[in-house]
Amino acid sequence: MNVIITPHTLQGTVEAPSSKSIGHRDLICAALAEGESLVDNISLSQDIEATCDILRALGADITPVMSSHPGRAAYRVRGGLKKQDGPIAVSANESGSTLRFLIPVAIFSGNEVTFSGQGRLAKRPLTPYYELFDEKGVAYETTEGALPLTVSGTLQPGTYSLAGDVSSQFFTGLLMTLPLLDGDSVLRSTTPLESASYVDMTLDCLRQHGIVIEKEQDGFYRIPGNQHYRPGTYVVEGDYSQAAFWLSAGSLGRAICCTGLRSQSSQGDEVIVSLIRDMGGQVEGKTELTSSPSELAGRVIDVEDCPDLVPVLTVLASCAKGITRIIHAGRVRLKECDRLHAMATELNKIGGDIEEEAEGLIIHGVGGFTGGTVSGWNDHRIAMALAVASQRCSQPLRIEGAECVRKSYPEFWQDFQALGGMIQKEGEE
Ligand SMILES: O=C(O)C1=C[C@@H](OP(=O)(O)O)[C@@H](O)[C@H](O)C1
Ligand SMILES: C=C(OP(=O)(O)O)C(=O)O
């Protein structure tokens, strides 16, 4: 499906979907607990469904129940993974988190599990796991390091050392599984850990589910073994990575209030609030954040800890005065697409002035864009960032492959229209 957007400033109030990152974590922790949990206020998306499907295949009972939050999902989770009768085949679809979080969980379950994936996931790196499995003698099979991947064998307690500059998701997967082993473990990064805020989010979720891990410093964790996940009731908070699109839209057009967020969240992407303010934008409030139009100015932005903000920051920077440098963004090339290349290519097509560097972008402020046809690169965050850019286009903007928002935010186009966005759909599925 393509959307053709007639440029128009957005305005109004929108509720942020609930956090995809916390949703994955709460569901996995609940599935690892012996007993019944409730995970409420889930915003369904392809990624979250992939996590539920794999946890079910590993033996957890995950049943939809009535949510206390209208329009959202809630699941009753009866945890406890089971050894199934034969080998299991599962798909992580396009979700890097699902795949990397659940590979160690699958090994722990004692099953032989074959993971497949769609889109770019089949080629996104898994090398840190392969190196560990080679070192520890954990059996796995893959063709040229790509999916499908079959894992079997067992995990033993011990010292796990892996690179911290590929994805923090490997650390999260191991931190969720190692506490269940029958001895203590140490997990350490052999390089400075990037996306460290996501590992802190993991530690926070684990604590809420009864698991204790000692963090000596970013990238060094002591993990007591023989622990048990505690069942309970968990309500997922709003998603700052998604709110970032609306808060950015507010500073480029007319005031937008984004609700449902928790202030002082464990989500590193809460930093969008201070990043917009540092560029000269106005964002007021705590759990209901209102972003108002302002003149923005370019600056240096280090995204080591907030990689998912890059697409929308590129739009903000293009509309700001002066030059913005986005630095420490090398890993952003390893997401659903090469996001540095995609944003430079698409915005330059419509009048942007962006130079790519190996690990970042140099963005010259151009104030606005012409309009024309751009591609969403089958990447939800590229499509959503381009939709925000449409507000500053002088002609209609046609976004190809706009359905890719379903990976994390299936209601994105509805919310865009509810805020006054004017879209026409082509070739709706
Ligand atoms: O742990 C998580 O929930 C995530 C970690 C980040 O990945 P990297 O650690 O690969 O940067 C982020 O980009 C991804 O969208 C979600
Ligand atoms: C990169 C993302 O997710 P994942 O790594 O889980 O596919 C994302 O949501 O932007």
Query: Which residue carries 């700001």 as its tokens?
Result: 320
Closest CA to 255 of 10, 1, 2, 7: 10
Q: Which residues of 98-124 are buried (b: 16+ CB within 10 A; e: fewer)?
A: bbbbbbbbbbbbbbbbbbebbbbbbeb
Q: Which of 308, 338, 353, 379 is catalytic?
A: 308
Residue 401 and residue 135: Cα distance in Å, rounded? 42
- Atom 8 in ligand 2: residue holding the nearest Cα: 308
User: Binding site: residue ranges?
Assistant: 20-21, 25, 96, 124, 167-169, 195, 308, 335, 339, 381, 407
Strand ranges across the sheet with 289-292: 12-15, 256-259, 289-292, 282-284
125-to-96, 108, 129, 166 alpha-carbon distances in Å: 9, 21, 9, 8
Domain borders along the chain are: 2-16+237-426, 20-226
Query: Which residue carries 């293009």 as its tokens?
Result: 318
User: Binding site for 3-phosphoshikimate: residue ranges?
Assistant: 20-21, 25, 167-169, 195, 308, 335
Q: What is the pLDDT along the chain (429 residues), one digit of tens a residue?
A: 999 999 999 999 999 999 999 999 999 999 999 999 999 999 999 999 999 999 999 999 999 999 999 999 999 999 999 999 999 999 999 999 999 999 999 999 999 999 999 999 999 999 999 999 999 999 999 988 889 999 998 999 999 999 999 999 999 999 999 999 999 999 999 999 999 999 999 999 999 999 999 999 999 999 999 999 999 999 999 999 999 999 999 999 999 999 999 999 999 999 999 999 999 999 999 889 999 999 999 999 999 999 999 999 999 999 999 999 999 999 999 999 999 999 999 999 999 999 999 999 999 999 999 999 999 999 999 999 999 999 999 999 999 999 999 999 999 999 999 999 999 999 976
Quote ipTM for the complex: 0.99
Cβ of 184: how many Cβ atoms within 10 Å? 15
How far, in Å, is the centroid of ligand 2 from the Cα of 95?
6
Active-site residue, 308 included: yes
Residue 120 and residue 2: Cα distance in Å, rounded? 20
How far, in Å, is the centroid of ligand 2 from the Cα of 394?
31
Q: Decide: 95 in ligand 2 pocket, CB within 6 A.
A: yes
- Are the beta carbons of 179 and 206 closer than 8 angstroms? yes
The C-alpha angle 415, 419, 425, rounded to 5 degrees, equals: 60
Domain spanning 20-226: which CATH class is it, in words? alpha beta
- Say if 2-16+237-426 and 20-226 have the same CATH topology: yes
Cβ of 324: how many Cβ atoms within 10 Å? 25
Q: How many residues would you count in the chain?
A: 429
Query: Going along 208-287, which residue ranges are E strands?
Result: 214-217, 220-223, 233-235, 256-259, 282-284
Atom of ligand 1 nearest to the CA of 198: 1
- Are the beta carbons of 167 and 97 closer than 8 angstroms? no
Question: Counting ligands in written order, which one lies closest to the CA of residue 97?
Answer: 2
Q: Decide: 379 in ligand 2 pocket, CB within 6 A.
A: no
How far, in Å, is the centroid of ligand 1 from the Cα of 398?
29
Rounded CA Rg of the chain: 21
Domain spanning 2-16+237-426: which CATH class is it, in words? alpha beta
Helix 20-32 and helix 169-177, axial crossing angle in degrees, nearest 10: 20
- Are the beta carbons of 408 and 242 closer than 8 angstroms? yes
Atom of ligand 2 nearest to the CA of 407: 9
